[in-house]
Amino acid sequence: MARKFRGVNVRGEESIQIEFTYKGKRCRESLKLSPTDANLRYANNRRIEILSKIERGSFDYPTEFPESNSAMAKASKNGCHILVKDAMNDWLVSCQKRHAYSTVRDYNSAVRFHLEPRFGHYTLDELNRQEIETWINGLDISAKRINNILIPLRQIMERAFHDELIDNNPMSRIKNLKIQTREPEPFTLKEIDAILEQLKGSPKNAVQFGFWTGLRTSELLGLKWENVSIDEGTAVIKEALVYGRMKQPKTRAGERKISLHENALLAIKAQLTIRTESPFIFHDPKTLMQWASDQPFRKRVWIPALKAAKVKYRECYQMRHTFASQMLSQNTNPLWLASHMGHKDWSMIVKNYGRWVLNS
């Protein structure tokens, strides 16, 4: 006759049930074992071991009984059963309602091309600071890009920690990399003329307008006719073209009304003579409609023009730096320039263009 042990009960010919108390609740779990003396002794020892783990605080329900229906509900930390890739996918879905399309696209790129291939197969509790830092040190990309890639990982691990899925957040001890701020490399007036000589039509007008307004490329390509007054010589900047979609400025200072430099007005008037049905001022000469994004503009207009002009390559954003440096060289008030460029105060002007401020 099979021996009897406390908390160990026979359930049919192929099952043994063990009982124990966990978090103040009575728990019963079945072991698929025939009730022989040897198996009953095993079940009793298993129960004693479980009680010992509960007393030490090291018992984890899903680890002990992974097929139990109540395991997840009674788990001490569920992070050991949630994959990083699943947590990231859930987080990306939640981002769609809280962030702009361009932001979500950047997050999705970071997850799909960097984070998921490296850490997606881990469970949340398996991630550790040392392994993450080793991975970071092996990346051959800019510090700014690395910091942006880490945003989704920071968010999901912080969420897991606050939801008590993990005991420690490894990302809390990983600091962002220091970003080396590059000095502006504005174009000279001679270089501007050389670049414009290589262009014609809408691309030429767009580049000239960019040089003499200091708009971001996304603001330049997103500017509509309805937001410009040639008679007043002004333009209202209220949207930007990012990844083919219109996006409002991140800050109140970004939405602004600017006065147009005479060279910018000349570009607008020239563009008026070749205006298309597009509501956007500067159109793609291939489609006669708005540019899809700043990427085709850079590849088909900007890069070929600089190459043909034999001018050292700088990114389109340097048009913005060029305008700022030109204005400061002409003793323009830094406060006016800060407002014109969409900064909330003139601290960014001093930070980026200090040498022109001092020399003005």
Residue-range domain boundaries for the chain: 8-75, 81-173, 189-359
So what's the pLDDT on residue 358? 56
Question: What is the CATH superfamily name and number for domain 81-173?
Answer: Tyrosine recombinase, N-terminal domain (1.10.150.130)
pTM: 0.66
So what's the pLDDT on residue 359? 62
What is the arithmetic mean of pLDDT over 98-102? 84
What is the arithmetic mean of pLDDT over 190-212? 97
Q: Name the band, by pLDDT with cuts 50, 70 and 90, for residue 56.
A: confident
Query: Are domains 81-173 and 189-359 of this chain identical in fold?
Result: no
Assess whether pLDDT exceeds 90 at residue 111. Answer: yes
Task: Read off the pLDDT of residues 118-139 as tens digits, 9 standing for 90 and up.
Answer: 999 888 888 889 899 999 999 9
What is the arithmetic mean of pLDDT over 157-173? 87
So what's the pLDDT on residue 303? 97
Distance CA 156, CA 131 (A): 17
Strand intervals (E) in 225-332: 228-229, 234-237, 240-242, 245-247, 256-259, 283-284, 289-290
Assess whether pLDDT exceeds 90 at residue 248. Answer: no
Assess whether pLDDT exceeds 50 at residue 229. Answer: yes
Distance CA 120, CA 148 (A): 18
Task: Read off the pLDDT of residues 287-298 as tens digits, 9 standing for 90 and up.
Answer: 999 998 899 999
Name 11's Cβ contacts closer than 8 Å, sequence gap at least 6: 17, 30
Q: Crossing angle, helix 347-359 and helix 318-329, to 10 degrees?
A: 50
Class of domain 189-359: mainly alpha
What is the arithmetic mean of pLDDT over 217-227? 95
Assess whether pLDDT exceeds 80 at residue 3. Answer: no
Mean model confidence pLDDT for the chain? 88
What percent of the chain clears pLDDT 90, i.e. is strictly above it? 53
What is the arithmetic mean of pLDDT over 315-335? 91
| Top mean-pLDDT range of 3-17, 56-70, 71-85, 205-219 | 205-219
Report the alpha-carbon angle 164-169-173, nearest 5.
Answer: 160
- Residue 35, classified by CB atoms within 10 Å of its CB into exposed (0-12), middle (13-18) or buried (19+), is buried
So what's the pLDDT on residue 1? 46
